[in-house]
Amino acid sequence: MLSHFPVLQVILPLMAAPTCLLLRQSKLVWVFATIVCLLSMLISFQLLYIVQSQGTIIYELGGWKAPIGIEYRIDMLSAFLLVLVSSIATVVLMGANSSIQKEIPEDKHTLFYISYLLCFTGMLGIIATGDAFNVFVFLEVSSLSAYTLIGLGTDRRALWASYQYLIMGTIGATFILIGIGLMYMVTGTLNMADMAERLPDVTQIKTLYTAFAFFIVGVCLKLALFPLHLWLPNAYAYAPSIVTAFLAATATKVAIYVLIRFIFTIYGVEFSLSHMPLPHILMALGVLGVIGASIVAILQTNIKRLFAFSSVAQIGYMILGFSLGSQAGLQACLLHVFNHALIKGAIFMAIAGIVYRVGSANVKDLRGIGQRMPLTTAAVVVGGLSLIGVPLTAGFVSKWYLILALLEQGLWPIVIVVLVGSLLAVVYVWKIVEIAYFQKPEGFQQGDVIEVKEAPISILLPTWLLVAANIYFGLNTDFTVNVTDLAVLSLFGGAP
């Protein structure tokens, strides 16, 4: 049983998805889906523990040896991401029952949970697998279910956003498919470890360059790197709030994992970061993303859209860390992947609570929300502080590491960009604080008693769990720093 854990946590939600159809009743399906996510989470924690104590786990599907069969390979990086994705999925799903009552028609609840579980399966699969083609298949599993999840939004613009995401996402995935195909052409294998071994012999072949270019563009579309982010803001803004919380905290993170996995494990640092002009391009786009998307975020009138643009900016930070090509830079990137997932999870869950009570995420409907829903609004504010990078929050830790990594290479101008980006974050978070606390609701008259009506406890609890995680990982960095340290070491070819 224990030896099957690497595959079990992917199979569990996959099998659970069609089982939901038999249960039908919304509440029952919710309990079932949450238990399944919880089990996946426990398994991923167990996997992390095994990897920490015994090193990389290799699991052969069906007992076929690696180059012929598909293998699942869980190393420190995968285990770390598995824990992140499954925890977020579980916590977010805890709030789903109340939130979707208001946002999704009753007869589609079961279908919502099925898509959610399939999307979750796809993400876990991408992270766990050690086979390049398998990555593409799981990528499509998670993307296709993400399109349907976004299309469930009540606003008709959700459909249009979902369609645009489908077109962009499919082009991205097809580019990745071309990249993998061309790599298979020159190496004759699809197993990642095997591929990595054979690539150094063929680095002078042009096909490999083409493969690399296609792959990078495809993945950057998926991870919404500026200027390939156009699908993201609308998709996040009009999707049901729970879906936004889930996707914002996981989908782009998994794409970043794919980028790191292919660059470091398959192509190798030498080829991709010194041989190709990738670091310069990524750094330029990262800088543009941080500044450009933050400025656009300030101008938004819908807070879901506002934080969606902020996500694009935060992806810029991750890519900045990644583009340095140093151990410190990659560690900063991984830390920000983890911390940003917690930040955006907390913020979008709190927004789900606001949308549950107010029925809208438009800034003009949120006047005085701080008095009406103090706990929920406080969660947005704490999340916002973490987003800015205020000390004692998780956001501070990753920005601190990013700045240290930049200073290590003497890149002063980029440090200034990071600080300016944080200042812009102060502006858009303050904008919300001002509306929430210092403006009176529409039609408010002197002497009116403001009725306190919090979001239901089932949304409030996961929100504050994530907020607490933000503060905890801001104070105690043992877990995140240790694990990312080990992951980076193994990616740079040190001890596992």
**DSSP label at 267?**
I
Residues 43 and 39: their CA atoms lie apart, in Å, by: 6
- The answer to whether residue 171 forms part of the interface with another protein (CB under 8 A) is yes
CA distances from 459 to 36, 112, 347, 379 (A): 19, 17, 12, 12
Provide φ and ψ at 438, rounded to 5°.
-110, 5
Pick from 170, 327, 360, 371 the residue near another protein by CB under 8 A.
Answer: 170
Q: How many other CB atoms are there within 10 angstroms of residue 146's CB atom?
A: 27
* DSSP H/E element including 297: helix 278-298
Candidate residues 177, 235, 258, 411; the one interacting with another protein per rule CB under 8 A? 177
Q: What are phi and psi of 28, to 5 degrees?
A: -60, -45
Candidate segments 47-55, 149-157, 310-318, 383-391, binder of another protein by CB under 8 A = 149-157
Q: Which DSSP symbol is given to 454?
A: P
Residue 33: CB atoms within 10 A of its CB come to 28
Select from 43, 76, 81, 144 the one that contacts another protein (CB under 8 A). Answer: 144
- Structure token digits, residue 204: 């002078």
Which helix (H) or strand (E) segment is 333 a member of?
Answer: helix 327-358
Name the segment binding another protein (CB under 8 A); options: 8-16, 132-140, 245-253, 366-374: 132-140
CB within 8 A of 341, min separation 6: which ones?
Answer: 84, 88, 249, 250, 253
User: With respect to another protein, which residue has the nearer C-beta, 359 or 391?
Assistant: 359
Identity of the residue, 161 or 342, whose beta carbon is nearer to another protein in the bound complex? 161
CB of 477 to another protein, least distance (A): 40
The reply on whether position 174 binds another protein by CB under 8 A is yes
State the Cα–Cα distance between residues 103 and 112, nearest whole angstrom: 11
Phi first, then psi: what are they for 68, rounded to 5°? -85, -50
Choose between 52 and 360: whose C-beta lies nearer to another protein. Answer: 360
Residue type, 77: L
Report 189-228 residues binding another protein (CB under 8 A): 190
Task: Specify the stretch interacting with another protein by CB under 8 A; choose among 74-82, 166-174, 401-409, 427-435.
Answer: 166-174
Task: Determine the distance from the C-alpha atom of residue 450 to the mean position of all C-alpha atoms in its chain, rounded to a whole number.
Answer: 37
State yes or no: residue 157 binds another protein (CB under 8 A). Answer: yes
Per CB under 8 A, does 136 bind another protein?
A: yes
Q: Does 140 bind another protein (CB under 8 A)?
A: yes
Which CB sits closer to another protein, 190 or 380? 190
129 binding another protein? (CB under 8 A): no
Of these, 12, 47, 84, 166, which contacts another protein (CB under 8 A)?
166
- CA distances from residue 92 to 37, 161, 222, 480 in whole angstroms, order as listed: 10, 22, 22, 21
Shortest Å, Cβ 66 to another protein: 15
Query: Is residue 148 close enough to count as binding another protein by CB under 8 A?
Result: yes
- Nearest-CA neighbor of 343 among 3, 161, 88, 100? 88
Tell me: does residue 167 bind another protein (CB under 8 A): yes
Q: Is 160 one of the binding residues for another protein (CB under 8 A)?
A: yes
Among residues 354, 373, 343, the alpha carbon closest in space to that of 103 is found at 354
C-alpha dist (Å) from residue 134 to 126, 192, 398, 468: 7, 10, 31, 36
Residue 362 CB, shortest distance to another protein, in Å, is 10
Task: Between 184 and 400, name the residue whose CB sits nearer to another protein.
Answer: 184
Among 8, 45, 61, 133, binds another protein (CB under 8 A): 133
- Nearer residue to another protein within complex by CB, 25 or 301: 301
3-state secondary structure of 72: strand
* Residue selected from 38, 42, 185, 375 as contacting another protein according to rule CB under 8 A: 185
User: Site for another protein (CB under 8 A): which residue of 163, 400, 430, 479?
Assistant: 163
Interatomic CA distance for residues 462 and 468, integer angstroms = 10
Considering only the stretches 81-89, 90-98, 184-192, 224-232, report the one whose residues sit in contact with another protein under the rule CB under 8 A. 184-192
Task: Give the residue, chosen from 159, 193, 202, 481, that forms a contact with another protein under the rule CB under 8 A.
Answer: 159
| CA separation for the pair 417, 221 (Å, rounded) | 23
- Site stretch for another protein (CB under 8 A), options 19-27, 152-160, 241-249, 388-396: 152-160
As given in the structure block, the two tokens for residue 403 are: 């700045």
Contacts to another protein by CB under 8 A:
133, 136-137, 140, 144, 147-148, 151, 156-157, 159-160, 162-163, 166-167, 170-171, 173-174, 177-178, 181, 184-185, 190
